[in-house]
């Protein structure tokens, strides 16, 4: 490999290490850290494009409040975040609202004990009056890519969202491009990677086998079950694809090379839906 190529790779990897944010280091209640990979990934993106002007914790709160909902919403208020309503999960209808409310009550009791939360965790049910539906973050499902796209766009970045789904109508929606052809979806991702764009992608557990260590590190032996996916940042450097993983604490270890076949398995596998964001800006950090 040429000296210039080595130097370029070193500089790019150094930049990725500098923008790295671990979800484990965010000063939030433990249960929120479990699904904070999307928040940490947004911190990394904003850091890369010199757009990060707040702490990760304040960015998280801004992102939560950025959401818009047209359905009943069951919220949780933590003692350490007074006045901030964190959605537990969007609710489809009035009948489901009662079911979700019972679920969140049981969840609250369990996590208050497991997290050793000091103070009372409050639960509320809201009936939003928003005209548009833009989910951002929920305790049950984590970060929503649609909310990420709009939030990062509001920060002055050019963001595109691509989704592969087995059902539905293929084409451009108001917020993203939907594809039913998985080969086309993968080729689109590969094209953007080869062009050196910064990507945020949702990967299956099989692509990040160390994912189960997250819950264990936070909770120890009483670790809860994690969601099946994990959001990471991708960047291709000199033909190699690198993951900037918010799960890892040490920034030097967080930059990992992933093979194309491993990435493909993480993208699709037995899933019927997958998404990735392409983020562009006028300038970005250098090492």
pLDDT, one tens digit per residue, over 135-147 is 999 988 889 999 9
Give the tens place of pLDDT for each residue, 231-248: 999 999 999 999 999 988
Q: How far apart are CA 87 and CA 220, in angstroms?
A: 26
Amino acid 3: pLDDT = 44
What is the β-pairing status of strands 158-165 and 177-179?
Answer: parallel
Give the tens place of pLDDT for each residue, 24-35: 899 998 888 888
Q: Find the distance separating the first CA and the last CA of the chain, reported in whole Å.
A: 21
Question: Is the model's pLDDT at 224 over the cut of 50?
Answer: yes
Give the tens place of pLDDT for each residue, 148-196: 999 999 999 999 999 988 765 555 555 789 888 888 999 999 999 999 9
**Element (H or E) spanning 198, and its range?**
strand 198-204
Q: How far apart are CA 248 and CA 271, in angstroms?
A: 25
Q: How far apart are CA 91 and CA 79, in angstroms?
A: 24
The residue that leads in pLDDT, 71 or 285, is 71
Pick from 213, 208, 234, 231: nearest CA to 223: 213
User: For 141, what's the count of Cα atoms within 13 Å in the CB-facing half-sphere?
Assistant: 12
Please tell me whether the overall predicted TM-score, pTM, comes out greater than 0.75 for this model.
yes
The tokens of 2 are what? 């040429």
Residues counted in the chain: 287
Give the tens place of pLDDT for each residue, 76-122: 888 888 889 999 876 665 556 677 778 877 777 766 666 666 667 88
Q: How far apart are CA 255 and CA 20, in angstroms?
A: 8
What average pLDDT is seen over the chain? 82
Q: How far apart are CA 126 and CA 96, in angstroms?
A: 14
* Residue 285, SS3 per DSSP: coil
What are the boundaries of each domain within the chain? Answer: 3-29+43-52+145-280
Range in 7-21, 171-185, 203-217 the model is least confident about: 203-217
């Amino acid at each position: 490999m040429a000296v210039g190529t080595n130097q370029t790779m070193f500089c790019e990897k150094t930049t990725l290490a500098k923008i790295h944010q671990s979800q484990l280091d965010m000063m939030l209640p433990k249960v929120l850290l479990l699904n904070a990979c999307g928040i940490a990934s947004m911190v990394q993106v904003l850091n890369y494009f010199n757009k990060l002007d707040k702490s990760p914790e304040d960015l998280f709160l801004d992102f939560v409040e950025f959401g818009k909902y047209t359905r009943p919403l069951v919220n949780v208020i933590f003692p350490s975040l007074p006045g901030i309503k964190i959605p537990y999960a969007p609710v489809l209808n009035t009948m489901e609202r009662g079911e979700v409310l019972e679920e969140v009550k049981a969840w609250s009791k369990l996590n208050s004990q497991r997290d050793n939360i000091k103070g009372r965790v409050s639960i509320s049910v809201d009936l939003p009056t928003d005209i548009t539906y833009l989910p951002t973050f929920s305790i049950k499902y984590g970060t929503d890519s649609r909310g990420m796209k709009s939030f990062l766009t509001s920060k002055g970045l050019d963001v595109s969202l691509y989704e592969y789904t087995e059902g539905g109508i293929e084409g451009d929606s108001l917020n993203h491009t939907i594809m039913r052809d998985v080969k086309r979806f993968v080729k689109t991702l590969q094209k953007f990677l080869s062009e050196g764009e910064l990507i945020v992608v949702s990967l299956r557990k099989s692509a990040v086998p160390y994912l189960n260590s997250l819950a264990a590190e936070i909770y120890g032996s009483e670790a809860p079950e994690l969601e099946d996916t994990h959001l990471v940042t991708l960047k291709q450097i000199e033909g190699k694809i690198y993951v900037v993983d918010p799960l890892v604490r040490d920034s030097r270890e967080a930059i990992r090379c992933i093979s194309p076949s491993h990435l493909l398995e993480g993208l699709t596998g037995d899933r019927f839906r997958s998404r990735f964001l392409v983020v562009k800006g006028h300038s970005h950090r250098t090492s």
